[in-house]
Structure 1
Amino acid sequence: MSFIKAKLIALLKQVFPASYTELAVFLLFLISYGTLGTYIALHYRIIFDIRIPWDAYFSFDNKAIVMTGGSFERHPLAYYFFNWIREFSLFISGGKMDVTFRLALAWLSNIAISLCVVQIFKYLRNITQLPLKFALLLVLFFGVFSTPIILSFTPENFTYTLLLLSIYNYYAAVKLKKNEKIPGSALVLAGISIGGITITNLAKVFIPVLFEKDLFRSWKKLGNAVFRVVLTTACFVFLYLLRIDFKYENIFSKTNQQYEKFSNVESIPDWDMMLSYFFGGSILFPSFMTTDKHNMKGFDFKGLLMEPYSSVFCYAFVIILLILILWSYLKNFRNRLVQIIAISFLIDIVIHCVMRFGLHTSYIYGGHFVFVYPVLLGWLFYAYRSKPGILSFLTVITGILFVFLLANNLFRMSDFFQFLENYYQ
């Protein structure tokens, strides 16, 4: 019992704030995001409207996700997770899908994203070992990304994926820094939770295993790693097949349909979609456009989508940020923790930029990778910790990017509220 108690306490300390500084960071974002989400939930119906299953804003599927967890071929086990989310919210609202129901959904999202910020702060302080002022700068920078802002009140798969990936990457970094292996139980839990919510993220769970100490120098360690990976995969596959009553042929047909649907859009050049949507839209809001939508059952409504960037300053912001990220990767190339983060990011780049899956709306996929930016920036600061001149330069550049990001995203959120005033009161 003492062993289980110790493990439980360690888990709680990792997931939740474990110091006054971490608590302060958590409360800062909880209050900020909470104020935003509470206002939207109380005054507008966009967070959850039983008549609108998908695409009310930025192609999120709020109602469909809350009710079903999403399509089984992409979100195989999300059905069970969102059953808990929905039932808890209904308990709070007394069984009604009303304003209280929306408020409960918004606050669950708020808590998830605020805890995600804490995970990034923990990583920067405990793994990268940045001084407090740099860690705070980077989490504030991350906190005003478009993805955390929107997900802080949006009940979606991406909201909880962002939290789980942040938790797992910090956990894996702690283990590897101590030259310990990822336990089989933790790997299975991560595989089922992270891969269960979005199947393509299952591969990310196995990346840290590849960097365990002396893995390829010992047949015993390699065999143990293979066993843990096979066990995780077997558990995941069994639960996946159980979810669809072992009708595995449906997986291939549905997956092919989804790929064809979301990969054959030629609206704007690929390079512009990559910069404006994948790399940029998940961080820096572009301008918005309204579209006419319907729910296939006779109800018409308005949707909101992002447009490509129209300002050279926005393109410059994204390019400068990407240069910093690439600089960090090259400077820390031999650091296995940096390689883990980079390979995780590469998976999303391949899926969306190379295979073009959902590239035209890739800003919604930010929950799968935006945590990479503050972490890699943190490693860049770490690499020049003994060079005050370069460190000052990086601080100034990041500060300028932060100010521009904050001003831009506040301005664009005013456009978002105007959309709510016009169509979702």
Structure 2
Amino acid sequence: MSLIKTKFIHFFRLVFPSSYTELAVFLFFITCYGILGSYIAVHYRIIFDSRIPWDAYFSFDNKSILMTGGSFERHPLSYYFFNWIREFCLFISGGKMDVNFRLTLAWLSNIIITLNIVQIFKYLKNIIRLPLFYSLLITLFFGIFSTNIILSFTPENFTYTLFFLSLYNYYAAIKLKREQKIPAGALSMASITIGGLTVTNIVKVFIPVLFEKELFKDWKKIASAILRGSIAIIIYALLYLNRIDFKYQNIFSKTNQQYEKFSNVESMPTWDMIISFFFGGNILFPSFIISDKHNMKGFHFKALYMDLYSSVFPYIFVSVILLLVSWSYIKNFKNKWVQIIAISFFIDIIIHCIMRFGLHTSYIYGGHFVFVYPILIGWLFYTYRSSSKMTAFLTLTVSILFVYLLSNNITRMSEFFWFLETYYQ
């Protein structure tokens, strides 16, 4: 019983704030996100409208995800996950999909995204061991990324994926720091939660295992890693196949259809979609486009999409961000924690930028990788911890980026509220 109690306490400390500074970070962001999400849920119907299955804003599929979990070939186990969320929200709202239902959905998202912010703060403070000031600066910077703002009130796969990925990377970093193995149970749970919500992310679960101490110098350690990985994959595969009644042929046919549907967009230059949507839209809001949509059952509604950047300043902003993370990667090339984060990011670059899957709406995929930016920037600060001049330069750079990001995203959110006032009251 004492072992179970100890495990539970460790898990609680891992997931939730475990110090006064972490609690302060949690309370600050839950207040900000909570006010935003509550206001939208109470005054507008965009978070959940039973008539709109998808695309009301930025291509998120709120109703579709909440009711079905999404397509099984991309989100194999999210059906069960969102069944629990939907039933809990209906319990709170007394079985009605009304304002209380929307409010509960919004607060679940508020809490999850705030906990995601806390995980990044913990990583900066406990793994990289940055001084408190720099940890707070980078955390605040991360907190106003467009992905975090939007997901803080959006009931979607990406909302929970972002949290699980941040949590797992922090957990794996702790294990590597202590020179411990990642247990089969943890690998299995991460595979079910992360890979179950988005199938391609399951690869990221096994990346930290490759960097366990002296793994490739001892065949016993290799065998242990293979065994732990095999257990996780078998459990995941059985749950996945059970979800589709073991009709595995459907996975290939549906996956091919999805790829053809979401990878053949020629209306915008590829390089601009990569900059404006994949690298930029997850952080810095571009301008918006309003489109006419319908639910294929006779109901017409207005939808909001992100446009390409229209001035030189956003491109400069994104270029500086990419310069900082590339600089960090080069300077910390031999750092295994940096390699884990970078390899995870490269997987998304391959899927969206090279294979072009969903490139025209890649800003919605930020939940798969946006946590990479604050962590790599944190490691860059760590690299120059002994140089006061470089630390001052980096602090000034991030501060300028912070001010520009805050002013831009506040302006764009005011435009978003105009859209809500006009079409979703």
TM-score normalised per structure 1: 1.00
Structure-1 residue corresponding to 2:16: 16
* CA distance, structure 1, for counterparts of residue 42 and residue 232 of structure 2: 42
Structure-2 residue corresponding to 1:76: 76
* CA distance, structure 2, for counterparts of residue 189 and residue 358 of structure 1: 27
Structure-2 residue corresponding to 1:292: 292
* CA distance, structure 2, for counterparts of residue 169 and residue 364 of structure 1: 21
Structure-2 residue corresponding to 1:239: 239
Structure-1 residue corresponding to 2:281: 281
Alignment of 1:169-180 (within 5 A): 169-180=169-180
* CA distance, structure 1, for counterparts of residue 266 and residue 177 of structure 2: 45
Structure 1 segments, 4+ long, off by >4 Å, are: none
**What is the SS of the residue equivalent to 1:205?**
helix
Structure-1 residue corresponding to 2:207: 207
Structure-2 residue corresponding to 1:46: 46
Q: Which amino acid aligns with 1:146?
A: S
Q: Which amino acid aligns with 1:310?
A: S
**What is the SS of the residue equivalent to 2:301?**
strand
Shift of 1:58: 0.2
Alignment of 1:61-72 (within 5 A): 61-72=61-72
Structure-2 residue corresponding to 1:107: 107
Structure 2, gaps ≥5 residues long = none
**What is the SS of the residue equivalent to 1:289?**
strand
Summarize deviations over 1:259-293 as a string: whole Å, max 9, x none: 00000001111110000000000000000010010
Q: Which amino acid aligns with 2:141?
A: F
* CA distance, structure 1, for counterparts of residue 107 and residue 11 of structure 2: 22
* CA distance, structure 2, for counterparts of residue 257 and residue 228 of structure 1: 33
Shift of 1:173: 0.1
**What is the SS of the residue equivalent to 2:207?**
helix
Shift of 1:28: 0.3
Q: Which amino acid aligns with 1:62?
A: N
Structure-2 residue corresponding to 1:197: 197
* CA distance, structure 1, for counterparts of residue 319 and residue 275 of structure 2: 8
* CA distance, structure 1, for counterparts of residue 148 and residue 281 of structure 2: 12
* CA distance, structure 1, for counterparts of residue 205 and residue 348 of structure 2: 14
* CA distance, structure 1, for counterparts of residue 235 and residue 418 of structure 2: 47
Q: Which amino acid aligns with 1:371?
A: F
Q: Which amino acid aligns with 2:231?
A: L
Q: Which amino acid aligns with 1:7?
A: K
* CA distance, structure 1, for counterparts of residue 267 and residue 423 of structure 2: 26
Structure-2 residue corresponding to 1:399: 399
* CA distance, structure 2, for counterparts of residue 253 and residue 331 of structure 1: 43
Shift of 1:340: 0.1
Structure-2 residue corresponding to 1:163: 163
Summarize deviations over 1:159-195 as a string: whole Å, max 9, x none: 0000000000000000000111101110000011100
**What is the SS of the residue equivalent to 2:291?**
strand
* CA distance, structure 1, for counterparts of residue 235 and residue 404 of structure 2: 46
Q: Which amino acid aligns with 2:398?
A: T
**What is the SS of the residue equivalent to 1:293?**
strand
* CA distance, structure 2, for counterparts of residue 110 and residue 9 of structure 1: 23
* CA distance, structure 2, for counterparts of residue 347 and residue 34 of structure 1: 32
Q: Which amino acid aligns with 1:90?
A: L
Q: Which amino acid aligns with 2:259?
A: Y
Summarize deviations over 1:209-251 as a string: whole Å, max 9, x none: 0000000000000000001111111111100000000011111
* CA distance, structure 2, for counterparts of residue 336 and residue 118 of structure 1: 22
Q: Which amino acid aligns with 2:234?
A: A
Query: Does 2:227 correspond to 1:227?
Result: yes
Alignment of 1:123-138 (within 5 A): 123-138=123-138
**What is the SS of the residue equivalent to 1:72?**
coil
**What is the SS of the residue equivalent to 1:303?**
strand
* CA distance, structure 2, for counterparts of residue 272 and residue 231 of structure 1: 42
Summarize deviations over 1:319-357 as a string: whole Å, max 9, x none: 000000000000000000000000000000000000000
Summarize deviations over 1:61-85 as a string: whole Å, max 9, x none: 0000010110000000000000010
Structure-2 residue corresponding to 1:422: 422
Structure-2 residue corresponding to 1:249: 249
* CA distance, structure 1, for counterparts of residue 27 and residue 86 of structure 2: 25
Shift of 1:101: 0.1
Shift of 1:43: 0.4
Structure-2 residue corresponding to 1:387: 387
Shift of 1:370: 0.4
Structure-2 residue corresponding to 1:354: 354
Shift of 1:4: 1.2
Q: Percent identity among equivalent residues?
A: 71
Shift of 1:132: 0.4
* CA distance, structure 1, for counterparts of residue 370 and residue 194 of structure 2: 16
The count of residues paired between Structure 1 and Structure 2 equals: 425
